[in-house]
Amino acid sequence: MRYVSTRGGVEPMTFSQAVMMGLATDGGLLLPERIPVSAPAVLRQWSGLTFQQLAVEVMALFMTPGDPVAGRLEELVIRSFATFTHPEVTPVTPVGEHWLLELFHGPTLAFKDVALQLLGNLFEALLADHGGQMNILGATSGDTGSAAIHGVRGKKGIRIFILHPHGRVSPIQERQMTTVLDSNVHNIAIRGSFDDGQRIVKELFNDLAFKETYRLGAVNSINWARILAQIVYYFYAWARTADGNTERKAAFSVPTGNFGDIFAGYMAMRMGLPVDRLVLATNCNDILVRFMETGVYRAGTVQPSLSPSMDIQISSNFERFLYYLLGEDAEAVRERMTRLQQEGLFAIGEEKRREAAAIFTARRVSEEATLHRIHATWMAHGILLDPHTAVGVEAAREFPGMICLATAHPAKFGMAVERAIGMPPAMPPALEGLLSLPARCRVVAPETEAVRKCIRESAG
């Protein structure tokens, strides 16, 4: 299996090379050259497997036997999901006439752990092969930073530098980052905004000499390995709810921001998983809903919401779907992305729009409806939803039997939950005591040179 760019400008590469490259060097995203399809008999066989066994089967399809990590896949998978507190890793539980696919049993209690626990181990294994070192650099508004830090803490050959806006992330989010005291973890609080952090990171990545010298790497949702890890739980959830009946179709509702999670569902479908609907649920930041309705992809301004991990303007993974929608025509993708950059929008024809809308049922969910869904689910079933999950459950309301992806633990977003039900959620053991643990963090001015200095000193 080889990997190509959505913009057609890189030589085909192996799985391991794609993981190390992250963003393709031509600015595009990496995808497998072809999508492996599994027959119904294979699906039936898979439905008896544990999450870890299934992960090995699914991931092996995306690499060649000679790939540097292919022979160690089982060991890597076992290590990656050993940090989850539920024996099933991603259990499926009933809630009224729907199912909840619980993706929040990892170390930071959000679904990003599923992918980032694996990615950390993949990086470590690949670096060990070359005796290499890498420095991961990223800016976060909360969730991704903590999941990335927990993914690489204590890993050989990797240092991580995560920028967050000083005093502007929730106390829990801040503590989930700054109480990780492993010597390879560097938290940097910027006296500024999330945008300042992003700008600084971008400037350092654009300094090619610096990037080269310090072997800067990224962990954002464009890495192919993150999508791959997420494909697994679509198969797993189907198996848990269909009882091995390959005639039985599943439908998923996915709280969406950067389009990574729902794109994994699309890939599972293309691989032969019987799926009859993917509900694309957004909050008021609805660029994807507007695209499905009008065929025009137009960036707006980000509005803060109760579900902050879905507050995005541009969905970075959408380019992967666009590539398939445009018939794997890299030239056509490049043309659309150039237009987006220059004019702030692009359009596809009505025929293509319909094709997309036949796969994704897009729904925008208001803040009021989100709060109402948390309250109603609590009253009716005694189950607490976090605001992101509530967006997906609300969007699935008209379709009984859906599998709703539960992307975060409610205690992580306690303020929204308290607004909805009048009391704060109970603290799980992973969060209890977090506020009194020792923490380490440097506070610096919102300037590129200040961050560069931190990296130089620590990575020297």
Ligand X SMILES: *Cc1c(COP(=O)(O)O)cnc(C)c1O
Q: Find out whether 430 and 85 touch, Cβ atoms under 8 Å.
A: yes
Residue among 47 and 309 whose Cβ is closer to ligand X: 309
The C-alpha atoms of residue 360 and residue 277 are separated, in whole angstroms, by 7
Residue among 69 and 396 whose Cβ is closer to ligand X: 396
Residue among 28 and 308 whose Cβ is closer to ligand X: 308
In the three-class reduction of DSSP (H, G, I as helix; E, B as strand; rest coil), residue 380 is classed as: helix
**Measured from the CB of residue 257, what is the shortest distance to ligand X in angstroms?**
4
Interaction of residue 108 with ligand X, rule CB under 6 A:
no
Catalytic residues: 112
Residue among 111 and 234 whose Cβ is closer to ligand X: 111
Segment near ligand X (CB under 6 A); pick from 37-45, 162-170, 259-267, 339-347 = 259-267
The pattern of x and - marking residues 54 through 93 that bind ligand X according to CB under 6 A reads ----------------------------------------
Kindly give the residue spans of alpha helices, DSSP state H, lying in 179-286: 194-206, 208-213, 224-242, 260-270
Which run of H or of E encompasses 343?
A: helix 330-343
Q: Judged by CB under 6 A, which of 173, 221, 223, 283 binds ligand X?
A: 221
Interaction of residue 151 with ligand X, rule CB under 6 A:
no
Residue among 68 and 392 whose Cβ is closer to ligand X: 392
**How does 92-115 read in b/e, with b if 16+ C-beta sit within 10 Å?**
beebeebbbbbbbbbbbbbbbbbb
**Measured from the CB of residue 309, what is the shortest distance to ligand X in angstroms?**
3
Residue among 187 and 256 whose Cβ is closer to ligand X: 256
**Measured from the CB of residue 258, what is the shortest distance to ligand X in angstroms?**
3
Interaction of residue 166 with ligand X, rule CB under 6 A:
no
CB neighbourhood size of 386 (10 A):
27
Q: Judged by CB under 6 A, which of 309, 361, 377, 448 binds ligand X?
A: 309
The C-alpha atoms of residue 94 and residue 99 are separated, in whole angstroms, by 4
- Determine how β-strand 403-406 pairs with β-strand 92-95: unpaired
The tokens describing 51, both together, are 């999450």
- Amino acid 105 reads H
Alpha-carbon distance values, 77 to 126, 237, 261 (Å): 14, 18, 19
Q: Judged by CB under 6 A, which of 76, 77, 310, 420 binds ligand X?
A: 310
Residue among 123 and 318 whose Cβ is closer to ligand X: 318
The pattern of x and - marking residues 430 through 459 that bind ligand X according to CB under 6 A reads ------------------------------
The C-alpha atoms of residue 258 and residue 262 are separated, in whole angstroms, by 9
**Measured from the CB of residue 447, what is the shortest distance to ligand X in angstroms?**
28
Interaction of residue 143 with ligand X, rule CB under 6 A:
yes
Interaction of residue 140 with ligand X, rule CB under 6 A:
no
Interaction of residue 275 with ligand X, rule CB under 6 A:
no
Alpha-carbon distance values, 310 to 258, 276, 298, 307, 361 (Å): 7, 24, 17, 6, 17
**Measured from the CB of residue 142, what is the shortest distance to ligand X in angstroms?**
8
Cα–Cα–Cα angle for 23, 24, 27, nearest 5°?
90
**Measured from the CB of residue 256, what is the shortest distance to ligand X in angstroms?**
4
* Residue of 408, 451, 412 lying closest to 174 (CA atoms): 412
Q: Judged by CB under 6 A, which of 30, 110, 152, 172 binds ligand X?
A: 110
The C-alpha atoms of residue 23 and residue 438 are separated, in whole angstroms, by 35
Interaction of residue 220 with ligand X, rule CB under 6 A:
no
| Helix 224-242 with 51-60: angle, nearest 10 deg | 130
* Residue of 81, 69, 182 lying closest to 128 (CA atoms): 69
The tokens describing 111, both together, are 């679904």
Q: How many residues bind ligand X (CB under 6 A)?
A: 17
Interaction of residue 224 with ligand X, rule CB under 6 A:
no
Q: Where are the beta strands (DSSP E) in 24-179?
A: 30-32, 92-95, 98-102, 134-139, 158-165
Segment near ligand X (CB under 6 A); pick from 78-86, 255-263, 269-277, 439-447 = 255-263
CB neighbourhood size of 117 (10 A):
25
Q: Judged by CB under 6 A, which of 47, 141, 184, 258 binds ligand X?
A: 258
Interaction of residue 28 with ligand X, rule CB under 6 A:
no
Residue among 295 and 387 whose Cβ is closer to ligand X: 387
Interaction of residue 370 with ligand X, rule CB under 6 A:
no
Touching ligand X, residues 400-429 (CB under 6 A) = 407-408
Output DSSP code: residue 425.
Answer: P
Interaction of residue 388 with ligand X, rule CB under 6 A:
yes
Cα–Cα–Cα angle for 214, 3, 73, nearest 5°?
80
Touching ligand X, residues 321-350 (CB under 6 A) = none
Binding site for ligand X (CB under 6 A): 110-112, 143, 221, 255-261, 309-310, 388, 407-408
